[in-house]
Structure 1
């Protein structure tokens, strides 16, 4: 199925033809390329399936009142009887399109016969999609779970329309925060061996050396109970346990903290990958920041930036001119002692992506990284990568609600809800429910995750509402058989419920294309809810009861159900949600 083979594109093509006719007959001196032509879904179904505000948006160029322009366009479009059941216009200047059921049937039959359920973009791209990339200093939290669900759904959508997508997890396993993890882990190890430790909030300005001697977790360290479990597992390992005891006896706390950092990162990564596996999210690559430093690429990228003319020296520091790219100030990339900053490492990482020849680089970052976009985007431009090919999406905060009240989250103090906690709380349907709930809203908006609604297994829960609709269709087929007939459908009387369901099923390919192009998976959830609602209205209508219908009518109705079933199952699959064949009570 080509990109142009959608109902919306067909309507747009008809409108373009009408505009060309208009210009030829009514405004011969006007170049159609100067006009804004677009199609939207009607805001109210009573007006039609699609609409255009062309007469309004171009009234000045056309030099005519919008309603007069609309009337001329409608007169031409009414000749397209093979496409439209009705074309009319409404004030202050909208043209409305109601699709002909016969056209929708032909479109859906072609769609069913196609090997590709989604339209393919005309210019497929090789895309790097980086998401989650949680620091390996603890379990994945709820914001990471949101990024995982949405990133994976986005990858599915882009792949479905023909792009080559590689999913990547960047492991920040280098730097001070990782060393603080090692110090915090060492405190827990010494506690397990009977030594008194402290997890006090203040370190009273003492150096790390002093804190290590006193067995104190620094104020910027990590206090979660998960470190106690890591400490126990390290002591239980014969080789590591023996090494720990030897270094403790020698008082080599700094060396041991460095080793504990590596071991804790390794343990946390195993934990994170296990959580992702339970969530049904797989990555093509886990990229270690440490490998960049070890290979010399971090300091090496500085030469690339110098060649771009965007580096200057100030007080023995190397500074990137990020203000040239909209940042609020220039940024240090190499400190006065020669150590690279986090920014330089991130620039080196993105240069590595550029060198892997991606046509587009997309990153999904956490809610506290918005201010970081300009400086990194600027650096990527300075490296010669096109501005429009690098995009950052911010995954905003998640608020877990229980009984209408927000629950607290704090990673360092250990008072946070992990992905593992959430999946355990939601029970046997956890993956489906969590993945769907996380994708329901745009990533750039905070998400209120209603735990009570998520636990509800009735059709009040939007996930179960969709799954029940799919299972109900399967139940119909078990009851009356799967025989359907395209000819019978063409001869079927088209009631309002039947036309509505045909239209919503036919929208599936364009909804997938729009969601992929806009990088907005939540649009697919909105569509699926409307599709399921349309099926429910179809299902409860007495004249649509297949078991009570004559054979020819039944075959036509079954054909409509097949269209709806394919759209539901395909849509849920793209979101990483299952489409069950049976209702719970039938299982």
Structure 2
């Protein structure tokens, strides 16, 4: 048994050795040409792992799958140090149950020695960009989902040995940001006693007229938070004199540009506070504005033109994105020479490439799916391998209260924010919010049940896990220092004890697989099943430490210690605390 080798890897290696013997009578067959894999048994009554090797390779072997399975079982049954039983079920599944002695040995050498996370063969330098919300207002619920899941992904990737930089891209340039400044200016003038006009639909009104007549554009921002920001600027001793001067001189455009920069700054401070309260820290905050100010955006055109993927049409420069699966080619420079948003995004990703990342991963919102092909194509045209760039879409979140959807509307300002949610969930907002966002795959819409999230009983999946951890801690408080045994080797292995040992032993491979797939929801699924197994163990006959003999108590304590470590480490990876005491622990 090698250090940091998972139980699944050990079983797979044993299977491969058995397959070598099976195919010894097939001189033309190469082991590499065969499909050899194992999976968890769908029903634990059949075993811990199973393989469908005989079925998947029946054409190559040209032999009845049942006969192949029988041959394989006969070979693997010799490995009595690893397997308690090996058998097969028709039409050709081989089932393995791990020996309790081997399980205990594995748990002692891994979980109880702090070797929780197997390490990858090659460590990669990874840029993981997520959240990257426009600095036009508070973080919303989808941003909260991206924050929780992105942070958990980073923790998993780091745990198995990768170097990960978490990055937040600030879209602080362009017309959208200018409209934010216009919106703030309208509210400043309102506070100063001027009336304003609310534009109901987009029209051709010039920006000069908008500013002169104090119009709040239809595409502007109307939330109450804009009023709060405007009010804070007028109370700011550094900003207020400049505002008064420019208002008096009617230099509205200059003031709108200042308001734009100030409002972006205010929103970013707000967003960073929300992220901090959610336990999410970024390594880099990267400003789009810096790309434009350093002429990096238009400069990337040279690379695109060198790649032969640019053509001109009606005075515009167009990227051949259809060659990469896009539904049409995309303009990157307008006929007046201004770059599009796409060109800025290409320049940003070129910057990531120049920073030497082996992998670039982006988490985007649900309305950006159509953008993937064009940016992926551009990255490839910059000679960055297609497989090294990946976009993950964070699907929509539906807040449910009493079984009904809670409506959200950003521009009207009536949407639910990350801070609203954390506040609504109370003192456990961070833990519950992060867990609920992580427990479903990002590529599927999430129904966030507010009633369940507020429930502090073990019906709530977060509390179910935390109660389990607290229960183990309370066990150790009861039995005191008598938990200092070096091994549980002398403990009789009942069914509940064997089941729990197996689920403990699964932890390293579950983390390794979750990290490789970048799917943190696998961790929550595993932890729920693990906690149920622990509960069965805890309620099982003769597993109460305080009622056991000293020898049995020491052995049980070793298993409980390993279980506590699994829960603590697993919760930590997804950003959830593992308290030692809870009000309702039992």
Structure 2-normalised TM-score? 0.98
Between 42-51 and 459-468, report the one with greater CA deviation.
42-51
Question: Shift of residue 482 of structure 1?
Answer: 4.5
Contact 1:117 1:509 (C-alpha < 8 Å) held by counterparts: yes
Matched, 1:265 2:256: no
How far apart, CA to CA, are the structure 2 residues paired with 1:333 and 1:117?
48
CA distance in 2, matches of 1:404, 1:282: 33
- SS in structure 1 of the partner of residue 154 of structure 2: helix
Label 1:199 to 1:82 Cα distance change in 2 as closer, same or farther (>3 A): farther
SS of aligned partner of 1:500? helix
Shift in alpha-carbon separation, 1:331–1:3, aligned structure 2, 3 A: farther
Q: Distance in 2 between matches of 1:143 and 1:333?
A: 28
Counterpart in the other structure of 1:383: 382
Could you tell me which residue of structure 2 aligns to residue 420 of structure 1? 419
Residue 353 of structure 2 aligns to a residue whose secondary structure is: helix
Deviates more, 1:575-584 or 1:250-259: 250-259
Distance 2:369 2:20 in 1: 44
The question of whether the paired residues in 1 share the 8 Å contact of 2:360 and 2:388 is answered with yes
Partner of 2:309: 310
Distance 1:379 1:345 in 2: 11
Q: CA deviation at 1:127?
A: 0.4
> How far does the alpha carbon of each residue in 1:441-460 deviate from its partner, in whole angstroms, 9 at most, with x for none?
00000000000000000000
State the partner residue of 2:18: 18
Take 2:402 and 2:114, find their aligned partners in 1: how far apart are those partners? 46
Note the C-alpha offset of 1:113. 5.1
Distance 2:131 2:337 in 1: 30
Helix, strand or coil at the partner of 2:483: coil
Partner of 1:444: 443
Q: Secondary structure at the match of 1:132?
A: coil
| 2:160 matched residue in structure 1 | 161
In the superposition, relative to structure 1, how do residues 339 and 393 fare at CA in structure 2: closer, same or farther (>3 Å)?
same
- The answer as to whether partners of 1:305 and 1:382 remain within 8 angstroms in 2 is yes
- Give the Å deviation of 1:202: 2.3
**Kept after mapping to 2: 8 A contact 1:203/1:211:** no
- The correspondence of residues 78-93 of structure 1 with structure 2, limited to 5 A, is 78-93=77-92
Instruction: Give 1:490 shift.
Output: 1.5
CA-CA distance at 1:116 after TM superposition: 3.6
- 2:499 aligns with 500
Distance 2:346 2:26 in 1: 53
1:27 equivalent in structure 2: 26
Correspondence 1:217 to 2:216: yes
Q: How far is the alpha carbon of 1:481 from its aligned partner? A: 1.8
* CA RMSD, 1 decimal: 1.4
Write the distance in 2 (CA, Å) between the matches of 1:233 and 1:35.
68
8 Å CA contact retained: 2:471, 2:585:
no
Bigger drift between 437-446 and 61-70 goes to: 61-70
Contact 1:4/1:10 (CA < 8 Å) preserved in 2? no
Tell me the equivalent position of 1:410: 409
Superposed displacement of residue 115, structure 1: 4.6
Number of residue-to-residue matches in the alignment = 586
Contiguous gaps of at least 5 residues in structure 2: none
Alpha carbons 2:514, 2:523 under 8 Å: kept: yes
- Residues 116-127 of structure 1: pairs in structure 2 closer than 5 A: 116-127=115-126
Which runs of 4 or more aligned residues in structure 1 lie more than 3 Å from their structure 2 counterparts after TM superposition?
1-4, 112-116, 482-488
Contact 1:488 1:552 in 2 (8 A): no
Three-state SS of the structure 2 residue aligned to 1:357 is coil
Q: 2:86·2:95 contact (CA, 8 Å) conserved in 1?
A: yes
Name the structure 2 match of 1:527. Answer: 526
Does 63-72 or 545-554 show the bigger shift? 63-72
Shift of 1:409: 1.2
Match for residue 195 of structure 1? 194
Cα deviation, 1:238-270, whole Å, max 9, x if unaligned, reads: 221111111111111111111111110000000
- Cα distance in 2 between the residues matched to 1:586 and 1:287: 44
Contact 1:149 1:439 survives alignment (8 Å): yes
Pick closer, same or farther for the CA change 1:453–1:130 going to 2, 3 Å: same
Q: Where does residue 478 of structure 2 map in the other structure?
A: 479
Partner of 1:363: 362
SS of 2:535's equivalent in the other structure is helix
Following the alignment from structure 1 to structure 2, what is the Cα–Cα distance between the partners of residues 464 and 425?
Answer: 17
Quote the Cα distance in structure 2 between the aligned partners of 1:198 and 1:444. 41
**3-state SS of paired residue (1:409):** coil
Post-superposition shift, 1:485? 6.0
Q: Counterparts of 1:409 and 1:112 in 2: how far apart (Å)?
A: 45
8 Å CA contact 2:106, 2:505 repeated in 1: yes
Q: Deviations over 1:11-56 (max 9, x none)?
A: 10011111111111x3222111111111111111111111111111
SS at match of 2:110: helix
Tell me by how many angstroms 1:489 deviates: 1.8
Distance in 1 between residues matched to 2:429 and 2:452, nearest whole Å: 12
Shift of 1:483: 3.2
- Cα distance in 1 for partners of 2:114, 2:542 equals 33
Worse overlay, 454-463 or 314-323: 314-323
Q: Aligned pair 1:547/2:509, yes or no?
A: no
Deviation at 1:205, TM superposition (A): 3.6
Contact 1:2 1:120 in 2 (8 A): no
Given the two structures, how large is their TM-score scaled by the length of structure 1?
0.98
1:91 CA displacement: 1.6
- Preserved contact between residue 169 and residue 287 of structure 1 (Cα < 8 Å): yes
Tell me the distance in 2 between the aligned counterparts of 1:218 and 1:394. 30
Please give the alpha-carbon distance, in whole angstroms, between the structure 2 residues aligned to 1:488 and 1:358. Answer: 44
Q: 1:502 to 1:73 in 2, by over 3 A?
A: same
1:326 maps onto 2:316 in alignment: no
Please give the secondary structure, in 1, of the residue aligned with 2:542: helix
Residue 586 of structure 1 and its aligned partner are, at CA, apart by 7.0
CA 1:218–1:494: 2 relative to 1, 3 Å: same
Determine the C-alpha separation between the residues in 2 that align with 1:300 and 1:346: 13
CA contact (8 A) 1:436 1:463 kept: yes
Question: 1:368 & 1:126 partners in 2: Cα distance?
Answer: 28
Distance 2:227 2:201 in 1: 20
SS in 2 for 1:280: coil
Contact 1:500 1:534 in 2 (8 A): yes
| Shift of residue 198, structure 1, vs aligned partner | 3.2
Q: Aligned to 1:239, what secondary structure does the other structure show?
A: coil
SS in 2 for 1:169: strand
